[in-house]
Every structure is written in structure tokens, then in C-alpha cells.
Amino acid sequence: MRTKLLAAAISMGALGGASLEALAQAKPDVLVKQRQAAMTLQGKYLGPIGAMMKGAAPYNADIVAVNATYLENLARMPWDGFVASTQGEKSKTKPSAYTDAKFKAAADALESATAKLGAAARAKDEAGVRASFGAVAKACGSCHDDFREK
């Protein structure tokens, strides 16, 4: 039952791109706040999994399943906030993020890494979680390196 609900959540997330039309009306400062909020929450749910990977907290498959699923959805959310109208707003986003094709590639990398992690987490596959966790942190980091100001 839980898995079905989670699967439904994922597919709704996947359809989220359809709401882009409505977003085009949103104010630039709101768009910036929303994309930052999505990333803040990504950090919130990544943290406990990271602690388990380091051994700083005991492995808890249920927490990992919930967090990784939230993460998988959250990973899809920030991107429609990176529109040209937000370039004038105060943020750490480098101007190249709005023009460079690598930005979309980096976003896609995060989506696919979190999808793999989510799948392993919901299958209660600890080895799979451990194997796919690194790619998630790496995806966050490399996009920041390329597109976020120091």
C-alpha cells in the first residue's frame, strides 16, 4: 500500500512539468525563494541518509525509504524556477546557469541519481542504497561547482 502511494507521488512529480504555464506568471523573487526552498529541503532529507552512510547514525531502512523518496521528488522541483526573469534577483546562481546546456545536464544527473537511490531505498536494498548514494552527493556538488557563486 505504502509503495503504491509512493509510486503515485513519483508519477505526480513527473507530471509536474505540466504546471510550467502557470509558473510563468509567478514573481521572480518568489521563484527564487521556491527553488531555494526545494534545495533546502533536499539537504534536510539527504542529511540523515548521509549520516547513516558515514556510520554516524545507525542504518534505518524505513527512514531511508521515506527520505530518499522525498529527495527524488524534491530533485525535480527547483528547475522551473531558473527562468530568465529571475536573473535580476539576489541569488548565488551564476549567469551561465541560464544559458549553459550543462545546467540541464546537471539537473538531469541529480534527478537520475536520486531516482536510483529512491528505488533502492524503497526496495529496502541497503547495499543498493550504499552503492547509489555517492552519485547523489556528487551531483549536488558538481552543479554547485559549475553554477553557484562561492
Partner 1 sequence: MKPGEIQLKVWDLPVRLFHWVLVLLFAFMFFSGKVKGDWMEWHMRAGYAILALVLFRILWGFAGSTHARFSSFLAGPSACIAFARKLLARAPAPSAGHNPLGGWMVLALLLALLFQTGTGLFSNDDILIEGPLASLVTKARSDQLTSWHYWNFNLLLFLAAAHVVAVLYHAGFMKENLIGAMFTGVKRLPADAAGGVVARFASPWLALVLLAVAAIAVYLIVKRPF
Residues in the chain: 150
Q: Which of residues 44-83 bind partner 1 (CB under 8 A)?
A: 46-47, 50
Could you say whether residue 106 binds partner 1 (CB under 8 A)?
Answer: no
Could you say whether residue 88 binds partner 1 (CB under 8 A)?
Answer: no
Q: How many CB atoms lie within 10 A of CB 109?
A: 19
Could you say whether residue 94 binds partner 1 (CB under 8 A)?
Answer: no
Distance from C-alpha of 51 to C-alpha of 58, rounded to nearest angstrom:
8
Which span sits near partner 1 by CB under 8 A: 11-19, 58-66, 93-101, 138-146? 138-146
Distance from C-alpha of 51 to C-alpha of 48, rounded to nearest angstrom:
5
Q: How far is the CB of 144 from partner 1 (least distance, A)?
A: 7
Q: Which residue has the cell 547514525?
A: 57
Q: Which of residues 21-40 bind partner 1 (CB under 8 A)?
A: 39
Burial letters 28-64, b for 16+ CB under 10 A, else e: beebbebbeebbebbeebbebbbebbeeeeeeeeebb
Could you say whether residue 90 binds partner 1 (CB under 8 A)?
Answer: no
Q: What is the DSSP letter of 82?
A: -
Q: How far is the CB of 47 from partner 1 (least distance, A)?
A: 7
Distance from C-alpha of 48 to C-alpha of 68, rounded to nearest angstrom:
10
Q: How far is the CB of 133 from partner 1 (least distance, A)?
A: 10
Could you say whether residue 144 binds partner 1 (CB under 8 A)?
Answer: yes
Among 73, 122, 140, 147, binds partner 1 (CB under 8 A): 140
Which chain residues interact with partner 1 by CB under 8 A?
A: 39, 43, 46-47, 50, 137-138, 140-141, 144-145, 150
